[in-house]
């Protein structure tokens, strides 16, 4: 498995004080430096979510990271014309289409791909025509997986939030659901990624999901980085992913 580190919440900390001028000489923390630390520690890519409300990542961050990264930039985005236009100009290596609700604290569930075919198809077509690989952030459900494939997506990212939040038997059931979804997605030629709520405690059980190519993890790594530093936090997660 490869690791994409989501650095949205590094930007959240910066915005808490420097939202008015992210390029002020004393604005911190610096996202480019945070991304470089992740790469130095062995991360295989950097993930950011450019939201319509710009609550953390800003347009300038997308451009700066695209130019500075040595690995890959994965841009999470809602299906809006404004953000699509930015993606087509910046040309990140990958785009992950996600649902977006301005009232949410974080992404609350998977994208309703099967029910938004007409709205999603032009976006997927334009991204792929621009040489950008496309992922769908979805619930681990057969209809969403099959719709993602039919739309032309290259990948699905299975939403692991219900798994991460559950305990006891519901937790086991969610793991089984993820395992079955991963088997189906792999069988029809989709790359299988996963993300949301993955942390240092549940990573051992995440490893029981077959065919996982990449995990996108943010909050847990940034939270640990407060105590041990970004490089060590990334190394610790990579060790967990490898079963060490």
Domain boundaries, the chain: 2-241
Q: What is the pLDDT of residues 78-88, one digit of tens each?
A: 999 999 999 99
Out of 9, 39, 44, 76, the active site residue is 76
pLDDT band at 109 (very low <50, low <70, confident <90, very high): confident
pLDDT over 60 (residue 103): no
Q: Is 44 a catalytic residue?
A: no
pLDDT of residue 100: 81
Rounded to whole angstroms, how far apart are CA atoms 24 and 28? Answer: 9
Q: What is the pLDDT of residues 178-216, one digit of tens each?
A: 999 999 999 999 999 999 999 999 999 999 999 999 999
Q: Is 49 a catalytic residue?
A: yes
Closest by Cα among 81, 74, 41 to 224: 41
Share of the chain above pLDDT 90, in %: 93
Q: What is the rounded average pLDDT for all residues in the chain?
A: 95
Scanning 19-91, the segments in alpha helix (DSSP H) are 31-41, 59-68, 81-90
Structural contact between residues 171 and 207, judged by C-beta atoms closer than 8 angstroms: no
Q: What are phi and psi of 138, to 5 degrees?
A: -135, 160
Rounded to whole angstroms, how far apart are CA atoms 23 and 227? Answer: 26
Q: Domain 2-241 - what CATH class?
A: alpha beta
Out of 9, 56, 159, 196, the active site residue is 196
CA 69-88-72 angle, to 5 degrees, is 20
Half-sphere CA count of 49, side-chain side, radius 13 A: 27
pLDDT over 80 (residue 107): no
For residue 129, give the 3-state DSSP assignment.
helix
Q: What is the CA radius of gyration of the chain?
A: 17
Share of the chain above pLDDT 70, in %: 97
Out of 9, 44, 49, 56, the active site residue is 49
Q: What is the pLDDT of residues 139-177, one digit of tens each?
A: 999 999 999 999 999 999 999 999 999 999 988 999 999
């Amino acid at each position: 498995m490869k690791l994409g580190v989501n650095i949205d919440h590094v930007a959240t900390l910066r915005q808490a004080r420097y939202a008015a001028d992210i390029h002020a000489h004393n604005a911190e923390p610096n996202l480019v430096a945070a991304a470089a630390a992740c790469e130095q520690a062995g991360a295989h890519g950097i993930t950011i979510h450019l939201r319509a409300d710009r609550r953390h990542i800003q347009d300038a961050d997308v451009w700066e990271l695209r130019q500075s990264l040595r690995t890959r930039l994965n841009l999470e985005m809602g299906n809006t014309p404004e953000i699509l236009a930015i993606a087509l100009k910046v040309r990140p290596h990958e785009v992950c289409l996600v649902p977006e609700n301005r009232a949410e604290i974080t992404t609350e569930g998977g994208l309703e791909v099967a029910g938004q075919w007409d709205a999603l198809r032009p976006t997927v077509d334009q991204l792929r025509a621009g040489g950008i690989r496309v992922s769908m952030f979805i619930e681990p459900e057969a209809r969403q997986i099959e719709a993602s494939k039919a739309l032309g997506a290259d990948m699905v990212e299975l939403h692991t939030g219900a798994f991460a939040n559950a305990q006891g038997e519901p937790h086991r059931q969610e793991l089984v659901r993820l395992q079955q979804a991963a088997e189906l997605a792999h069988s029809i030629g989709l790359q299988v990624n996963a993300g949301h709520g993955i942390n240092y405690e549940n990573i051992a059980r995440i490893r029981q999901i077959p065919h996982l190519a990449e995990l996108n993890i943010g909050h847990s790594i940034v939270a640990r980085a407060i105590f041990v530093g970004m490089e060590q936090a990334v190394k610790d997660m990579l060790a967990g992913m490898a079963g060490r």
